[in-house]
Structure 1
Protein backbone atom coordinates (compact mmCIF):
# COMPACT_ATOMS: atom_id res chain seq x y z
CA UNK A 1 0.00 0.00 0.00
CA UNK A 2 2.75 2.46 0.98
CA UNK A 3 4.74 1.58 -2.14
CA UNK A 4 1.74 2.42 -4.31
CA UNK A 5 1.25 5.73 -2.50
CA UNK A 6 4.93 6.54 -2.97
CA UNK A 7 4.66 5.83 -6.70
CA UNK A 8 1.59 8.04 -6.98
CA UNK A 9 3.33 10.85 -5.12
CA UNK A 10 6.42 10.53 -7.32
CA UNK A 11 4.22 10.65 -10.42
CA UNK A 12 2.38 13.71 -9.10
CA UNK A 13 5.67 15.46 -8.30
CA UNK A 14 6.98 14.66 -11.78
CA UNK A 15 3.86 16.07 -13.43
CA UNK A 16 4.01 19.21 -11.30
CA UNK A 17 7.64 19.70 -12.30
CA UNK A 18 6.63 19.24 -15.93
CA UNK A 19 4.04 21.99 -15.54
CA UNK A 20 6.60 24.34 -13.99
CA UNK A 21 9.19 23.61 -16.68
CA UNK A 22 6.63 24.28 -19.39
CA UNK A 23 5.42 27.45 -17.67
CA UNK A 24 8.96 28.78 -17.43
CA UNK A 25 9.30 28.50 -21.21
CA UNK A 26 5.93 30.09 -21.83
CA UNK A 27 6.60 32.99 -19.45
CA UNK A 28 9.96 33.60 -21.12
CA UNK A 29 8.26 33.69 -24.51
CA UNK A 30 5.05 35.55 -23.73
CA UNK A 31 5.41 37.13 -20.29
CA UNK A 32 2.90 36.50 -17.53
CA UNK A 33 0.26 38.70 -19.12
CA UNK A 34 0.54 37.05 -22.53
CA UNK A 35 0.67 33.53 -21.08
CA UNK A 36 -2.40 31.42 -20.42
CA UNK A 37 -3.16 28.15 -18.71
CA UNK A 38 -4.11 26.74 -22.11
CA UNK A 39 -0.71 27.70 -23.55
CA UNK A 40 1.13 26.25 -20.56
CA UNK A 41 -0.89 23.04 -20.83
CA UNK A 42 -0.06 22.79 -24.54
CA UNK A 43 3.64 23.23 -23.80
CA UNK A 44 3.50 20.59 -21.05
CA UNK A 45 1.47 18.14 -23.10
CA UNK A 46 -1.41 18.17 -20.63
CA UNK A 47 -5.00 19.33 -20.69
CA UNK A 48 -5.89 22.65 -19.10
CA UNK A 49 -7.92 20.74 -16.53
CA UNK A 50 -4.84 18.80 -15.49
CA UNK A 51 -2.99 22.05 -14.83
CA UNK A 52 -5.77 23.28 -12.54
CA UNK A 53 -5.34 20.20 -10.36
CA UNK A 54 -1.93 21.60 -9.37
CA UNK A 55 -2.34 25.39 -9.61
CA UNK A 56 -5.36 27.65 -9.39
CA UNK A 57 -4.10 30.14 -12.00
CA UNK A 58 -1.04 31.21 -13.95
CA UNK A 59 -0.02 33.67 -11.22
CA UNK A 60 0.20 30.79 -8.76
CA UNK A 61 2.48 29.00 -11.22
CA UNK A 62 4.66 32.07 -11.54
CA UNK A 63 4.83 32.37 -7.75
CA UNK A 64 5.84 28.71 -7.46
CA UNK A 65 8.60 29.17 -10.04
CA UNK A 66 9.96 32.21 -8.26
CA UNK A 67 9.74 30.54 -4.85
CA UNK A 68 11.72 27.55 -6.17
CA UNK A 69 14.30 29.88 -7.67
CA UNK A 70 14.71 31.76 -4.39
CA UNK A 71 15.21 28.51 -2.50
CA UNK A 72 18.08 27.61 -4.82
CA UNK A 73 19.50 31.11 -4.41
CA UNK A 74 19.42 30.84 -0.62
CA UNK A 75 20.99 27.38 -0.75
CA UNK A 76 23.87 28.80 -2.79
CA UNK A 77 24.38 31.67 -0.35
CA UNK A 78 24.13 29.38 2.69
CA UNK A 79 26.79 27.06 1.26
CA UNK A 80 29.22 29.87 0.50
CA UNK A 81 31.98 30.85 2.87
CA UNK A 82 31.49 28.07 5.38
CA UNK A 83 35.27 27.91 5.84
CA UNK A 84 35.60 31.69 6.30
CA UNK A 85 35.89 33.29 9.73
CA UNK A 86 36.90 36.87 8.96
CA UNK A 87 33.90 39.19 8.32
CA UNK A 88 35.51 40.68 5.19
CA UNK A 89 36.08 37.23 3.71
CA UNK A 90 32.55 36.21 4.61
CA UNK A 91 31.15 39.32 2.95
CA UNK A 92 33.05 38.56 -0.25
CA UNK A 93 31.92 34.91 -0.21
CA UNK A 94 28.24 35.65 0.43
CA UNK A 95 28.04 38.53 -2.05
CA UNK A 96 29.91 36.50 -4.64
CA UNK A 97 27.40 33.67 -4.14
CA UNK A 98 24.26 35.66 -4.92
CA UNK A 99 25.95 37.50 -7.77
CA UNK A 100 27.32 34.27 -9.19
CA UNK A 101 23.95 32.56 -8.90
CA UNK A 102 22.20 35.19 -11.00
CA UNK A 103 25.13 35.48 -13.42
CA UNK A 104 25.00 31.73 -14.09
CA UNK A 105 21.17 31.61 -14.16
CA UNK A 106 19.86 34.60 -16.13
CA UNK A 107 16.35 33.13 -16.29
CA UNK A 108 16.26 33.27 -12.49
CA UNK A 109 17.24 36.92 -12.74
CA UNK A 110 14.21 37.42 -14.97
CA UNK A 111 11.96 35.70 -12.45
CA UNK A 112 13.40 37.47 -9.44
CA UNK A 113 12.94 40.93 -10.91
CA UNK A 114 9.73 40.28 -12.84
CA UNK A 115 11.54 40.96 -16.11
CA UNK A 116 9.15 38.67 -17.98
CA UNK A 117 6.22 40.91 -17.12
CA UNK A 118 7.35 44.48 -17.35
CA UNK A 119 9.20 45.13 -14.07
CA UNK A 120 6.10 44.86 -11.90
CA UNK A 121 4.68 41.91 -9.90
CA UNK A 122 1.35 41.97 -11.70
CA UNK A 123 -1.06 39.24 -10.71
CA UNK A 124 0.72 38.29 -7.48
CA UNK A 125 -1.16 38.95 -4.27
CA UNK A 126 0.35 41.49 -1.87
CA UNK A 127 0.95 38.71 0.66
CA UNK A 128 2.74 36.47 -1.84
CA UNK A 129 4.81 39.35 -3.16
CA UNK A 130 5.84 40.19 0.42
CA UNK A 131 6.80 36.58 1.12
CA UNK A 132 8.89 36.34 -2.05
CA UNK A 133 10.61 39.66 -1.38
CA UNK A 134 11.38 38.54 2.16
CA UNK A 135 12.92 35.32 0.84
CA UNK A 136 15.10 37.34 -1.52
CA UNK A 137 16.14 39.49 1.41
CA UNK A 138 17.09 36.31 3.28
CA UNK A 139 19.79 35.74 0.67
CA UNK A 140 21.17 39.24 1.30
CA UNK A 141 21.06 39.28 5.09
CA UNK A 142 24.38 37.40 5.51
CA UNK A 143 26.13 40.29 3.74
CA UNK A 144 24.44 42.73 6.06
CA UNK A 145 25.53 40.69 9.07
CA UNK A 146 29.11 40.63 7.78
CA UNK A 147 29.06 44.40 7.32
CA UNK A 148 27.94 44.83 10.91
CA UNK A 149 30.69 42.46 12.04
CA UNK A 150 33.12 44.79 10.25
CA UNK A 151 32.03 47.59 12.55
CA UNK A 152 29.05 49.22 10.86
CA UNK A 153 25.88 50.05 12.73
CA UNK A 154 22.61 48.51 11.57
CA UNK A 155 21.53 51.52 9.53
CA UNK A 156 24.90 51.93 7.81
CA UNK A 157 25.12 48.20 7.13
CA UNK A 158 21.69 48.26 5.51
CA UNK A 159 22.68 51.23 3.35
CA UNK A 160 25.95 49.62 2.22
CA UNK A 161 24.23 46.31 1.56
CA UNK A 162 21.57 48.05 -0.51
CA UNK A 163 24.25 49.82 -2.53
CA UNK A 164 26.13 46.56 -3.02
CA UNK A 165 23.00 44.81 -4.23
CA UNK A 166 22.03 47.67 -6.54
CA UNK A 167 25.52 47.73 -8.03
CA UNK A 168 25.50 43.99 -8.58
CA UNK A 169 22.03 43.92 -10.13
CA UNK A 170 22.97 46.75 -12.47
CA UNK A 171 25.98 44.79 -13.68
CA UNK A 172 23.90 41.65 -14.04
CA UNK A 173 21.37 43.49 -16.20
CA UNK A 174 24.16 44.86 -18.38
CA UNK A 175 25.52 41.34 -18.76
CA UNK A 176 22.10 39.80 -19.29
CA UNK A 177 21.19 42.25 -22.05
CA UNK A 178 24.65 42.19 -23.64
CA UNK A 179 25.09 45.94 -23.06
CA UNK A 180 28.26 45.27 -21.06
CA UNK A 181 30.01 44.60 -24.36
CA UNK A 182 29.65 48.21 -25.46
CA UNK A 183 32.03 49.12 -22.63
CA UNK A 184 34.39 46.23 -23.24
CA UNK A 185 34.09 45.22 -19.60
CA UNK A 186 33.45 42.05 -17.63
CA UNK A 187 30.58 42.17 -15.11
CA UNK A 188 32.14 39.73 -12.66
CA UNK A 189 35.46 41.55 -12.61
CA UNK A 190 33.69 44.85 -12.02
CA UNK A 191 31.65 43.37 -9.18
CA UNK A 192 34.76 41.89 -7.58
CA UNK A 193 36.49 45.28 -7.85
CA UNK A 194 33.54 46.97 -6.15
CA UNK A 195 33.66 44.44 -3.32
CA UNK A 196 37.40 44.90 -2.84
CA UNK A 197 36.98 48.67 -2.79
CA UNK A 198 34.14 48.40 -0.27
CA UNK A 199 36.17 46.17 2.06
CA UNK A 200 39.24 48.42 1.83
CA UNK A 201 37.16 51.51 2.55
CA UNK A 202 35.60 49.95 5.61
CA UNK A 203 38.92 48.65 6.88
CA UNK A 204 40.45 52.13 6.59
CA UNK A 205 37.58 53.74 8.49
CA UNK A 206 38.39 54.80 12.06
CA UNK A 207 37.09 52.45 14.72
Structure 2
Protein backbone atom coordinates (compact mmCIF):
# COMPACT_ATOMS: atom_id res chain seq x y z
CA UNK A 1 0.00 0.00 0.00
CA UNK A 2 1.41 3.45 -0.89
CA UNK A 3 2.53 5.62 2.00
CA UNK A 4 -0.12 8.25 1.29
CA UNK A 5 -2.84 5.63 1.36
CA UNK A 6 -1.57 4.24 4.68
CA UNK A 7 -1.53 7.72 6.18
CA UNK A 8 -5.08 8.36 4.94
CA UNK A 9 -6.27 5.00 6.30
CA UNK A 10 -4.73 5.67 9.71
CA UNK A 11 -6.28 9.14 9.76
CA UNK A 12 -9.66 7.61 8.90
CA UNK A 13 -9.39 5.14 11.76
CA UNK A 14 -8.48 7.92 14.21
CA UNK A 15 -11.42 9.99 12.99
CA UNK A 16 -13.74 7.01 13.37
CA UNK A 17 -12.54 6.38 16.94
CA UNK A 18 -13.00 10.04 17.83
CA UNK A 19 -16.53 10.00 16.40
CA UNK A 20 -17.37 6.83 18.33
CA UNK A 21 -16.05 8.30 21.57
CA UNK A 22 -17.98 11.51 20.96
CA UNK A 23 -21.20 9.60 20.32
CA UNK A 24 -20.63 7.47 23.43
CA UNK A 25 -20.13 10.54 25.60
CA UNK A 26 -23.18 12.25 24.10
CA UNK A 27 -25.36 9.25 24.93
CA UNK A 28 -23.92 9.19 28.47
CA UNK A 29 -24.76 12.87 28.83
CA UNK A 30 -28.33 12.36 27.58
CA UNK A 31 -28.85 9.43 29.95
CA UNK A 32 -27.52 11.43 32.87
CA UNK A 33 -29.61 14.46 31.92
CA UNK A 34 -32.77 12.37 31.96
CA UNK A 35 -32.04 11.37 35.56
CA UNK A 36 -31.16 14.90 36.65
CA UNK A 37 -34.17 16.50 34.96
CA UNK A 38 -36.47 13.89 36.48
CA UNK A 39 -35.01 14.64 39.92
CA UNK A 40 -34.54 18.41 39.78
CA UNK A 41 -36.69 19.66 36.89
CA UNK A 42 -35.34 22.02 34.28
CA UNK A 43 -35.24 24.97 36.69
CA UNK A 44 -33.17 23.11 39.26
CA UNK A 45 -30.93 21.14 36.93
CA UNK A 46 -27.41 22.33 36.12
CA UNK A 47 -24.88 21.22 33.54
CA UNK A 48 -22.46 20.62 36.39
CA UNK A 49 -24.88 18.16 38.00
CA UNK A 50 -25.46 16.46 34.66
CA UNK A 51 -21.72 16.19 34.07
CA UNK A 52 -21.23 14.65 37.51
CA UNK A 53 -24.01 12.14 36.85
CA UNK A 54 -22.44 11.23 33.50
CA UNK A 55 -18.94 10.98 34.94
CA UNK A 56 -17.48 13.59 32.58
CA UNK A 57 -16.05 17.07 32.97
CA UNK A 58 -18.54 19.91 32.68
CA UNK A 59 -16.50 21.21 29.74
CA UNK A 60 -17.32 17.98 27.90
CA UNK A 61 -21.02 18.73 28.25
CA UNK A 62 -20.45 22.22 26.81
CA UNK A 63 -18.75 20.65 23.80
CA UNK A 64 -22.06 19.00 22.95
CA UNK A 65 -24.63 21.50 24.23
CA UNK A 66 -24.45 25.28 24.79
CA UNK A 67 -26.87 25.08 27.71
CA UNK A 68 -29.32 22.90 29.57
CA UNK A 69 -32.24 24.15 27.46
CA UNK A 70 -30.63 22.79 24.29
CA UNK A 71 -29.96 19.50 26.06
CA UNK A 72 -33.53 19.31 27.30
CA UNK A 73 -34.85 20.08 23.81
CA UNK A 74 -32.66 17.38 22.27
CA UNK A 75 -34.05 14.83 24.70
CA UNK A 76 -37.63 15.88 23.99
CA UNK A 77 -37.05 15.89 20.23
CA UNK A 78 -35.75 12.33 20.47
CA UNK A 79 -38.75 11.32 22.55
CA UNK A 80 -41.17 12.79 19.99
CA UNK A 81 -39.33 11.00 17.19
CA UNK A 82 -39.84 7.73 19.08
CA UNK A 83 -43.52 8.57 19.55
CA UNK A 84 -43.99 9.26 15.84
CA UNK A 85 -42.37 5.93 14.96
CA UNK A 86 -44.58 4.15 17.49
CA UNK A 87 -47.74 5.75 16.07
CA UNK A 88 -46.85 4.96 12.47
CA UNK A 89 -46.10 1.35 13.34
CA UNK A 90 -49.45 1.04 15.11
CA UNK A 91 -51.42 1.95 11.98
CA UNK A 92 -49.07 0.48 9.36
CA UNK A 93 -51.00 -2.75 8.88
CA UNK A 94 -54.46 -1.19 8.71
CA UNK A 95 -56.33 -0.33 5.53
CA UNK A 96 -56.06 3.35 4.56
CA UNK A 97 -59.81 3.59 3.93
CA UNK A 98 -61.61 2.82 7.17
CA UNK A 99 -64.84 4.56 8.13
CA UNK A 100 -65.17 2.38 11.22
CA UNK A 101 -62.29 4.25 12.81
CA UNK A 102 -59.90 1.38 13.45
CA UNK A 103 -56.92 3.49 12.36
CA UNK A 104 -57.98 6.32 14.67
CA UNK A 105 -58.49 3.94 17.60
CA UNK A 106 -55.12 2.27 16.98
CA UNK A 107 -53.33 5.62 16.81
CA UNK A 108 -55.03 6.97 19.94
CA UNK A 109 -54.28 3.84 21.96
CA UNK A 110 -50.68 3.84 20.69
CA UNK A 111 -50.34 7.47 21.81
CA UNK A 112 -51.66 6.52 25.23
CA UNK A 113 -49.58 3.34 25.47
CA UNK A 114 -46.35 5.11 24.55
CA UNK A 115 -46.58 7.50 27.48
CA UNK A 116 -48.19 4.98 29.83
CA UNK A 117 -45.15 2.73 29.50
CA UNK A 118 -42.58 5.55 29.43
CA UNK A 119 -43.28 7.82 32.38
CA UNK A 120 -40.11 9.85 31.85
CA UNK A 121 -41.23 10.71 28.33
CA UNK A 122 -44.58 11.89 29.68
CA UNK A 123 -42.63 14.11 32.07
CA UNK A 124 -40.62 15.51 29.16
CA UNK A 125 -43.66 15.90 26.95
CA UNK A 126 -45.49 17.96 29.54
CA UNK A 127 -42.49 20.31 29.90
CA UNK A 128 -42.47 19.67 33.63
CA UNK A 129 -40.04 21.66 35.72
CA UNK A 130 -41.08 21.93 39.36
CA UNK A 131 -44.79 21.35 39.36
CA UNK A 132 -47.03 21.54 36.29
CA UNK A 133 -45.76 24.59 34.40
CA UNK A 134 -44.12 25.29 31.03
CA UNK A 135 -40.37 25.67 30.91
CA UNK A 136 -38.52 28.56 29.30
CA UNK A 137 -37.17 27.32 25.98
CA UNK A 138 -36.10 29.63 23.18
CA UNK A 139 -38.56 30.42 20.35
CA UNK A 140 -36.39 28.42 17.94
CA UNK A 141 -36.47 25.32 20.15
CA UNK A 142 -40.19 25.74 20.73
CA UNK A 143 -40.81 25.83 16.98
CA UNK A 144 -38.70 22.71 16.47
CA UNK A 145 -40.50 20.76 19.17
CA UNK A 146 -43.95 21.99 18.17
CA UNK A 147 -43.24 20.83 14.62
CA UNK A 148 -42.34 17.35 15.90
CA UNK A 149 -45.50 17.23 18.00
CA UNK A 150 -47.68 18.31 15.07
CA UNK A 151 -46.25 15.39 13.07
CA UNK A 152 -47.43 13.04 15.82
CA UNK A 153 -50.89 14.64 15.94
CA UNK A 154 -51.14 14.30 12.16
CA UNK A 155 -51.27 10.51 12.55
CA UNK A 156 -54.40 10.96 14.68
CA UNK A 157 -55.74 13.39 12.09
CA UNK A 158 -55.19 10.93 9.25
CA UNK A 159 -57.20 8.34 11.15
CA UNK A 160 -60.07 10.78 11.75
CA UNK A 161 -60.16 11.79 8.08
CA UNK A 162 -61.00 8.18 7.23
CA UNK A 163 -64.03 8.34 9.50
CA UNK A 164 -65.49 11.49 7.96
CA UNK A 165 -64.35 14.37 5.73
CA UNK A 166 -63.72 17.40 7.91
CA UNK A 167 -62.78 20.99 7.26
CA UNK A 168 -59.33 21.98 8.52
CA UNK A 169 -60.68 23.89 11.52
CA UNK A 170 -62.98 21.02 12.52
CA UNK A 171 -60.15 18.51 12.22
CA UNK A 172 -57.85 20.66 14.32
CA UNK A 173 -60.51 21.09 17.00
CA UNK A 174 -61.20 17.37 17.22
CA UNK A 175 -57.52 16.36 17.36
CA UNK A 176 -56.76 18.98 20.02
CA UNK A 177 -59.66 17.68 22.11
CA UNK A 178 -58.59 14.08 21.63
CA UNK A 179 -54.95 14.81 22.51
CA UNK A 180 -56.07 16.75 25.57
CA UNK A 181 -58.27 13.86 26.65
CA UNK A 182 -55.48 11.30 26.26
CA UNK A 183 -53.07 13.52 28.18
CA UNK A 184 -55.62 14.05 30.94
CA UNK A 185 -56.17 10.30 31.22
CA UNK A 186 -52.41 9.76 31.49
CA UNK A 187 -52.02 12.37 34.22
CA UNK A 188 -55.00 11.10 36.20
CA UNK A 189 -53.77 7.53 35.92
CA UNK A 190 -50.20 8.48 36.89
CA UNK A 191 -51.49 10.24 40.01
CA UNK A 192 -53.74 7.33 41.01
CA UNK A 193 -56.98 9.26 40.55
CA UNK A 194 -58.46 6.89 37.96
CA UNK A 195 -57.77 3.83 40.07
CA UNK A 196 -59.52 5.53 42.98
CA UNK A 197 -62.52 6.07 40.69
CA UNK A 198 -62.47 2.46 39.48
CA UNK A 199 -61.38 3.29 35.95
CA UNK A 200 -58.32 3.02 33.71
CA UNK A 201 -56.66 5.34 31.25
CA UNK A 202 -57.09 2.91 28.39
CA UNK A 203 -60.82 2.63 29.03
CA UNK A 204 -61.15 6.42 29.13
CA UNK A 205 -59.32 6.76 25.81
CA UNK A 206 -61.40 4.02 24.19
CA UNK A 207 -64.65 5.70 25.25
CA UNK A 208 -63.50 9.07 23.98
CA UNK A 209 -62.52 7.68 20.59
CA UNK A 210 -65.70 5.60 20.29
CA UNK A 211 -67.80 8.69 21.04
CA UNK A 212 -65.84 10.74 18.49
CA UNK A 213 -66.23 8.06 15.80
CA UNK A 214 -69.97 7.67 16.42
CA UNK A 215 -70.53 11.41 16.32
CA UNK A 216 -68.50 12.08 13.20
CA UNK A 217 -69.44 8.95 11.29
CA UNK A 218 -73.04 9.88 11.86
CA UNK A 219 -72.46 13.35 10.51
CA UNK A 220 -72.44 15.05 13.92
TM-score range, shorter chain: over 0.9
1:48-197 equivalent positions in 2, closer than 5 A: 48-85=58-95, 86-87=98-99, 88-149=101-162, 150-197=164-211
User: What is the CA distance between 1:123 and its match in structure 2?
Assistant: 3.5
The structure that has the greater radius of gyration is: 2
Distance, in Å, in 2 between the alignment partners of 1:41 and 1:192 is 43
Length-normalised TM-score, structure 2? 0.87
User: What is the CA distance between 1:145 and its match in structure 2?
Assistant: 2.6
Distance, in Å, in 2 between the alignment partners of 1:106 and 1:116 is 15
SS, match of residue 80 in structure 1: helix
The answer for unaligned runs of 5 or more in structure 2 is 1-9
Distance, in Å, in 2 between the alignment partners of 1:117 and 1:67 is 20
User: What is the CA distance between 1:132 and its match in structure 2?
Assistant: 0.3
Distance 1:122 1:190, change over 3 A: closer
Q: Number of residues paired by the alignment?
A: 206
The answer for unaligned runs of 5 or more in structure 1 is none
User: What is the CA distance between 1:151 and its match in structure 2?
Assistant: 2.1
The higher-RCO structure (CA 8 Å, 6+ apart) is 2
Distance, in Å, in 2 between the alignment partners of 1:5 and 1:96 is 44
User: What is the CA distance between 1:117 and its match in structure 2?
Assistant: 4.2
Larger mean Cα displacement after TM superposition, 45-54 or 18-27 = 45-54
RMSD: 1.6
